[in-house]
Chain A
Amino acid sequence: MEVFEADIAIIGAGGAGLRAAIAAAETNPELKIALISKVYPMRSHTVAAEGGSAGVVQTHDSLDHHFNDTVGGGDWICEQDVVEYFVAQCTEEMVQLEHWGCPWSRKPDGHINVRAFGGMKIERTWFAADKTGFHMLHTLFQTSIKYPSIQRFDEFFCVDLVVEDGRVQGVVVIETATGQFTLIKAKSVIIATGGAGRVFRENTNGGIVTGDGMAMAYRHGVPLRDMEFVQYHPTCMPGTGLLFTEACRGEGGLLLNKDGYRYLQDYGLGPAEDKPRNKAMELGPRDRLSQAFWYEQQKGRTIEEPHGSVVHLDLRHLGEAYLRERLPQIYELAEEFLGVDPAVTPIPVRPAVHYTMGGILVDGKCASPLSGLYAAGECSSVGIHGANRLGSNSLAELCVFGKVAGIEAAKYAKSVAPGNTASLLKQAADSQKQAEQLVTRLDGKKGTERIATLRKEMAQTMEDGCGIYRLGDSMQATCDKINELKQRFKNVNVEDKSSVWNTDWLLAIELGYQLDVAQAMAYSAINRKESRGAHQRLDGFEARDDVNFLKHSQAHYAGEGAPRIDYGAVKITKSQPGTRAYGAAGEKAEQEREQAAHV
């Protein structure tokens, strides 16, 4: 096996991984940084983020407002000290991206423009039309080329971490083009592999979003935190789940049921007004909007289409010219994929899985409990999203915590000595053997389970048990099903036996990752006996229970068995848990909170 000696290894070259690499390179140009990605960096799923990235800029806005929106939006299960740090850093990071060339949309005077977003009290979402993630990713990728100490491993697939003496000391990768293994030795490792939305059936995610980093850390004993909180985005394309950005509503789009009625007013988000009002109606948070859809469906007030029930996202009143300027990608998606001209006809939409709020447990410095291991971005749980992430906080998170992870990993790398190559290689060889046995198989027999069949059954059971609303019985069925699939996975058939670009093999490894992550999600969900944010139960636990569950769940890997779930404290600094309300009720609740604070 080849060995590459790095100081820092970064797994994943999306927004967080690239930002971390740049930060590490700037912190200490002497350090050799290995930036590993299973796809070329610009293919990473950051590319698909549309609406924008948060950062307080307006004079009538404040960090406190952003803090309160985020903590309230997360239903108070956020790490408040981390949120405080986050909101204070967002704007600087957005400016940094601007200096690196990000084509932010501008106001006529040349300053950057901001738009309204769901659950945000004041407009603070920086945007580059409706291709914000695309522009951020390409800006970061292209800027990263400036730094000679960043050595990229494009299209290298990571199969394992190498842990010795209680700290992570490297990673094992497969070069996709050759099928060859390399041990990348590193004194610190940053995981920035993104989310795991593909474990669900209908989702907005790219095919690569398979929870690889989460699973790798998890298998090495790092807990996955708050995995039960999975975000359904309310406006997605039926069937494929492709995303119609929240910016559609930020720009004034309306949600209508089959009677053309703005149904959100029936779910505590009203009153319905002609003009968009922040934190109300269509500008409510994603969990509430997806839940409202579910109820409309139960009441038979949705429209039935071949790919399931839909409601209408109505942008007609915004006019073609404005839509082409602000939402050009949305316009084309509707035209090309649905044959709908959004200036003439409302777009049919339904909720789909979009984001994993939880992830690898890390502290405010992005450090996991495993020494030398850091995580940033969607794969991590740094604690800012709580039970429901607000739109435009995730792109900001990539930058803020990508940078933190890069700096911290660089510091750590300086503080430790390189490991013993021979013994690390021995471990790496074990990892290689495990990965290869998926193809060669121990018993030498042909596997009997199709990868696609297992994947499909997993995605279906996750949707059935861990959807927008959850029941104990169906969650139990999901847990059982995942356990069954994990057993059947041992008998998986990798048809392709070749070395060059064997995607069949890589898909099988990914499926293994997905099953572990799915299991953590399902067990975390069934154990949370309350309703909070994106985790809503209908089996006697309909209310939030701060007495018993104002806590983070932590799933611990248990090999063959079910994960062990325990709980960690939630850090509260200045916002005591209160009523989470939106629309007129939300304004009233906010006033009461302010009055109470002044007493």
Chain B
Amino acid sequence: MSEIEKIIPIEVLRYRPEQDTEPVLQTFQVPFTDDMSVLQGLQYIKDYLDGSLSFRWSCRMAICGSCGMMVNGIPSLSCKTFLRDYYPVGLRIEALAHFPIERDLVIVMDDFIEKLESIKPYIIPKKPRTLIEGEYLQTPTERDAYEQFSSCINCMLCYAACPQYGLNSKFIGPGIMALLHRYNIDSRDGGKAQRMEMVNAEDGVFDCTAVGYCSKVCPKHVDPGNAVNLNKMESAKDYFLRFVMPKGTGK
């Protein structure tokens, strides 16, 4: 390992509720190698420069969804954003935008979890089946239809990318809409009618103004903006069908 050690300045937005009245920036000089992620930079700070820096992380491989933060103002997973790309100027790390800061880079995610719990994110079987009967048949095409939307890791980068959510946190938002859509279009599911209530609600899909940045920052190609916008159509269909269909036949 003959690599010369390079030093990069990392500016971190600190907020310690027990001592700071508002967030403050603090700069750390971090030695790094070219294969080091932003997360590894933060770990270095915590291990050797300031043990009081708090942030969430776990898997290091972009699947657990813990380490979302703003890197130079862009919602990013810090585990797959690399320090080399910011050398020698340095970078600024802040907690995910649009969420309240609990402390340092940790945000309060209660709102997201409550939304997730509210949309019935589980199969409501079209036709119940016993275990003895084996699996539901589902062709690869039927699976592909929802697979993309089932790939959401709940990292919430899309919420940090959505100004509408920032302005009105009642908006259901992109990630949760993707999850809702994932179940609605699963060939095994029959719960769409129940979930459309959430789609049609005042702070359902129509709070979206198609900024599109949510899909841009998604690290897992979920395209949550697509889920939101497809459900605008679904919602409109749902609205007009109510006039046409007699009561009780809309399922």
Which residues of A are at the interface with B, using a C-beta cutoff of 8 A?
39-40, 42-45, 47-48, 92, 95-96, 98-101, 103-112, 129, 131, 134-135, 138, 142-143, 145-146, 154, 177, 206-208, 239-240, 242-243, 306, 329, 332-333, 336-337, 450-452, 493-496, 498-504
Contacts and interface: CB of A to CB of B under 8 A. Distances in A.
Interface of B: 1, 3, 16-19, 33, 35, 46-48, 50-52, 54-66, 80, 102-104, 106, 108-109, 113, 116-117, 120-123, 125, 129, 131, 134-140, 142-143, 146-147, 150-151, 153-154, 179, 183, 186, 188-189
B137 A110 contact: yes
B135 A95 contact: yes
B250 to A, nearest CB: 24
9 closest A-B pairs (Cβ-Cβ)? A110-B137, A452-B47, A495-B51, A206-B58, A496-B52, A142-B121, A501-B103, A101-B123, A206-B59
Interface centre among B50, B135, B151, B179 (most CB of A within 10 A): B135
24 contacts: A42-B153, A43-B64, A43-B65, A44-B64, A45-B59, A47-B65, A48-B63, A99-B188, A110-B142, A111-B135, A131-B63, A145-B121, A154-B113, A207-B57, A207-B59, A242-B61, A332-B62, A450-B47, A452-B46, A496-B52, A501-B54, A501-B103, A502-B52, A504-B46
B151 A131 contact: yes
A142 B131 CA distance: 19
A138 B175 CA distance: 14
Contact of B80 (A243, A337, A495, A503): A337
Given A96-B131, A145-B117, A501 B61 contact: no
A110 B134 CA distance: 12
Contacts, number: 162
Contacts of A39: 56, 58, 66
B147 A501 contact: no
Given A48-B64, A101-B183, A134 B153 contact: yes
A154 B108 CA distance: 12
Interface centre among A95, A243, A495 (most CB of B within 10 A): A95
Contacts of A42: 64-65, 153-154
Contacts of A47: 59, 63-65, 153
A500 B17 contact: yes
Given A95-B134, A500-B17, A494 B143 contact: no
Contacts of A336: 62, 80
A42 B183 CA distance: 17
A336 B56 CA distance: 21
Contacts of B62: 332-333, 336
Given A99-B131, A145-B122, A495-B51, 8 more contacts: A47-B59, A95-B134, A107-B140, A134-B153, A154-B113, A333-B62, A493-B51, A502-B52
A102 to B, nearest CB: 9
Given A242-B60, A333-B61, A452-B47, A501 B122 contact: no
Nearest to A336: B80
Contacts of B113: 40, 154
B122 A143 contact: yes
Interface of A is mostly: loop
B214 to A, nearest CB: 19
B60 A92 contact: no
Given A103-B146, A106-B138, A208 B47 contact: no
B28 to A, nearest CB: 14
Contacts of B80: 336-337
A100 B122 CA distance: 7
A207 B140 contact: no
A77 to B, nearest CB: 30
Contacts of A333: 61-62
A396 to B, nearest CB: 15
Contacts of A112: 135
A479 B131 CA distance: 49
B51 A504 contact: yes
Contacts of A92: 131
Contact of A98 (B3, B18, B136): B136
Nearest to A144: B122
B51 A206 contact: no
A101 B154 CA distance: 17
B32 to A, nearest CB: 13
Contacts of B122: 100-101, 142-143, 145-146
Contact of B186 (A43, A101, A240, A500): A101
A80 B98 CA distance: 54
A206 B102 contact: no
Contacts of A495: 50-52
Contacts of B147: 103, 129
A240 B122 CA distance: 35
A177 B56 CA distance: 12
A131 B18 CA distance: 40
Contact of A243 (B17, B47, B54, B61): B61
Contacts of A503: 46, 54-55
A333 B117 CA distance: 30
A332 B218 CA distance: 14
Contacts of A243: 61
B140 A108 contact: yes
Contacts of B16: 498, 500
A499 B17 CA distance: 9
B51 A500 contact: no
Contacts of B188: 99, 101
A62 B135 CA distance: 19
Contact of B59 (A48, A101, A450, A496): A48
Nearest to A456: B47
A244 to B, nearest CB: 10
Contacts of A101: 122-123, 183, 186, 188-189
Contacts of B136: 98-99
Contact of B139 (A96, A106, A134, A337): A106
B153 to A, nearest CB: 7
A109 B52 contact: no
A450 B3 CA distance: 27
A495 B147 CA distance: 45
